[in-house]
Amino acid sequence: MDGSGTSDGGDGGWSLRPMDAEQLRECGHRMVDFIADYYKSIESFPVLSQVQPGYLKELLPDSAPNRPDTLDALFDDIREKIIPGVTHWQSPSYFAYYPSNSSTAGFLGEMLSAAFNIVGFSWITSPAATELEVIVLDWFAKMLKLPSQFLSDAPGGGVIQGTASEAVLVVLLAARDRTLKKHGKKSLEKLVVYASDQTHSALQKACQIAGIFPENFRVVKADCSKNYAVAPEAVTEAISIDLSSGLIPFFICAT
């Protein structure tokens, strides 16, 4: 393999030998240069991609290549075929969905994380990963001035999830299971969820996965005059009605 990313088996064939340290260093530097140039010029791109659906199929082959390509060729493909189809979330002119949620320091950290390639499903698979997660999330809870029960040395403690939607699902499942332990598994049809009319659709999807009956999903109107907060009295009224009907309120998502 040379610094361009190709690999020669020596007899005219091709092999997939991994890069050695120096080849990794060279290619890594070039990749960082490419990313730095992208960030430097990001304001020159239209924030919203201008391509039409299905554009990429016309630009790529029908099957995967049999031989590895050079790094130069890959960069050319990214410039000519991928970047035109990118909506530039990190552009300073991007205001849709979530705000820009990355940084140069962040992707450098991602490089390090990818290098270790840890699957931290238990303490023994990588003690540092598990303990660092606990410590950093305690820091975060303190920054948010959350009550002490949210810290790891109390009944609480945090876990990093892959996405916000995944976090919503995990929280909902935890609340559902705790409630079913108290009221019995046959109580599932009585469980009620409350949400603002501004709440992301991820909660409704989570309810479907968790088996919450669709008719037990309550939408409480937010007050636009109060920064779209949900009025406590509206929630109280909705809960009171459900309690009087023999239902079991168990989860509320305010935003």
Nearest to 203 by CA among 242, 161, 159, 254: 254
What pLDDT digit, counting tens, does each position of 25-57 carry?
999 999 999 999 999 999 999 999 999 999 999
Q: Is the pLDDT of residue 14 over 90?
A: no
Q: Is the pLDDT of residue 155 over 70?
A: yes
| Packing angle of the helix pair 104-116, 21-41 (nearest 10 deg) | 150
Q: State residue 135's pLDDT score.
A: 96
Q: Is the pLDDT of residue 232 over 50?
A: yes
Q: How many residues in the chain?
A: 255
All structural domains of the chain:
1-117 (1.20.1340.10), 119-160 (no CATH), 164-253 (3.40.640.10)
Q: State residue 96's pLDDT score.
A: 87
Q: List C-alpha distances in Å: 43 to 33, 47, 78, 195.
A: 17, 8, 17, 37
Which has the higher per-residue pLDDT, 223 or 7?
A: 223
Mean of all residue pLDDT scores within the chain: 91
Enter the tokens of residue 95: 């205001």
With tokens 């189809």, the residue in question is: 85
